[in-house]
Structure 1
Amino acid sequence: MEFRDLKKQYQVLKSEIDANIAEVLTSARFISGSQVKELEQKLAEYVGVKHCITCGNGTDAITLAMMTWGIDEGDAVFVPDFTFFSSGECPAYEGATPIYVDVEKDSYNMDPAKLEIAIQKIIAEGKYSPKAVVAVDLFGRPADYAKIRPICHKYGLLLMEDGAQGFGGSINGKMACSFGDISTTSFFPAKPLGCYGDGGAIFTDNDEWAAVLRSLTVHGKSGDDKYNNIRIGMNSRLDTIQAAVLLPKLEAFKKYELAAVNKVAEEYTKRLNNSCLTLPIIPDGMISSWAQYTIQLPEKTDRAGLQAHLKSFGIPTMVYYVKPMHLQGAFEGMASSRADCEVTEHLCKCVLSLPIHPYIEKEDVEIVCEHLLEYIDE
């Protein structure tokens, strides 16, 4: 059993993917080939924004957003404490101070009430200048933008949506990666929409920012002239082969994969619903892209023992995340490490992610649930 079965997906899409890769090899347009522009247009249309700028990976996407906004030393950027390292690493790399905010226990996403408390505290202290919020769509579920955006507006903060795990999710028909002033995603292979290497994208409706972002991805070039450099940028482009891979995968994602993975999640929930496990909740009007199906184990459960038990039956599991952001060694001794994030610390001790992808068989879900409940009931 695969945690996320990229092998099965490739077999289903093999003819289209192979033909697209062969076309790139024949044309030898390995950088900035026509497939990149085509993909950007289709991604922007799907998400519902004016501009999509692809780049080297999801981490670069966040960094490029920070660069575009001029995030710098002395700035405070508010980030959920329960997330992958990139969400806070990128603001810190630009010299800013990540301020970690606790998350909601049921959604795993930034708690809007605690966000406002954190902003007020930073303003009162007067040491840092609040500049932006990085809201993460964790495990495929979009953050609570109906509450987060008014808070950003109230305090004059820019809103960045980290949709690395959220691509394909939506709230009342509005798609993930369209909620931020700038939004980003990752095409890491295991993501809801993944390529066969590294890749990322940035989304915005702002024409000026889009132009700056395109410049920054190619060494700060001026327009189409990469030898006339008007700002300090970086080298972060999506390879044409990766775009060629993503084009048929995007079509499959839209046509049936998103619906299929939601049916898998429904099957898990149905089979585990009457147990002592805490299951993911998706509110009415919201769709998750199910980057992960993450449960919370009962208190005092031997998580490592459970993982070993499941592994003995060929069932892979993962823990996202073992350590809160504010306790990462990179932030030791910094203001970022001083965070009151009780919910995050609890989640790090009890979460467990189960195999989920559009191609998993119903029988496999049954096997996972059977052996999971077998251990829990003991």
Structure 2
Amino acid sequence: MAVIIKVVGGVVALLMVAVIGVVALVLVDDAQADEMSDGGGGLRGVPAEFRPWILQASKDCKEPGLTPSLLAAQLYQESKFKTSVREATSRTGAQGPAQFMPGTWATWGRDADGNGAASPWDIGDAVMAQGRMMCSLLGQAKHSGYSGDVRALALAGYNAGWQRVEQFHGVPPKSFANGETYNYVQIILSTMPRFEGPGLVEITGSGDGPDAVRKAATRIGTPYAWGGGGPAGPSTGFCDGTSGYLNGKCSASTTTGFDCSSLVQYSYWPDLKLPRTAAAQYGATSDHAVSRHDLKVGDLLFWSHGNSSGSIYHVALYAGDGNVIQAPRTGRNVELAPLTSAMPESDYYGATRP
């Protein structure tokens, strides 16, 4: 069998993101973020007064891409969670923690906190309006036919207006507005991990398996990209002549995400260094086969064409209660799904325990 390397002791992973663009754009300040209260619900590093509204806005949206960490990273980019008139009024007249222009607020603003007034300065009103607008933009992005990450398209629409996304058939390039929108999108997507807390899926227990599933759960909503992703997180993939295509076009090369095995590899890394492909992951763990009736959180589940280990084509993580976390296929996102319908039932091959 292939060798799995078990790392003993703590490993600190440093992610350095270099962004070239407009000076006015800001990156998350680690010291300040660490001072903010952390907590569950798939979210950390935000002020306590923002947390319930971010979680509610994410829950209310049926688009899986609107995760709490995306909303939090966007709010930080817009205002650093500031709420005063002096600190949260832009030079162009945008107002409040979610930076709404008055005309846009007239469309999306509601009295979410029930205090009798709909105000872009009220945290609840602002965050829920941000969520409604982003949810709508994600829906537009999904049905637009434009290539790339739907979250990037939605963020570009929030920053520059959807008409600019239509104009450029995607995220406006660096040449547009001195790169403001382009860099706005890149910064928010790259800083999302700072705000990712324990997953939205309730996972009990401790150890490699539950820890891996908690980590995987923070990626629910991330797009599928054939050949994309790895230990460091999501990345663009590639097309191989058969896989990675959507509506006749190579989607993987312009989509930042995971495929099934890279999600599993990412989830266990660095404590358990699994190989890259589903077949190799089966080969590395097959000496610890598990009956379907004895599954535990974190077990690996495999599907095969022709009931052969040489034809394994899919792997998922068992999340408990008959569910799996998986990156299913091109055009879909990382999801929580029932084991019985995650893939064709007749293709189920078996399970192993890393």
User: Which TM-score applies when normalising by structure 2?
Assistant: 0.30
Hey, which of these two has a bigger chunk of helix by percent?
1
Q: TM-score, normalised by structure 1?
A: 0.28
Q: Which has the higher contact order (CA 8 A, sep 6+)?
A: 1
Higher share in strand = 1
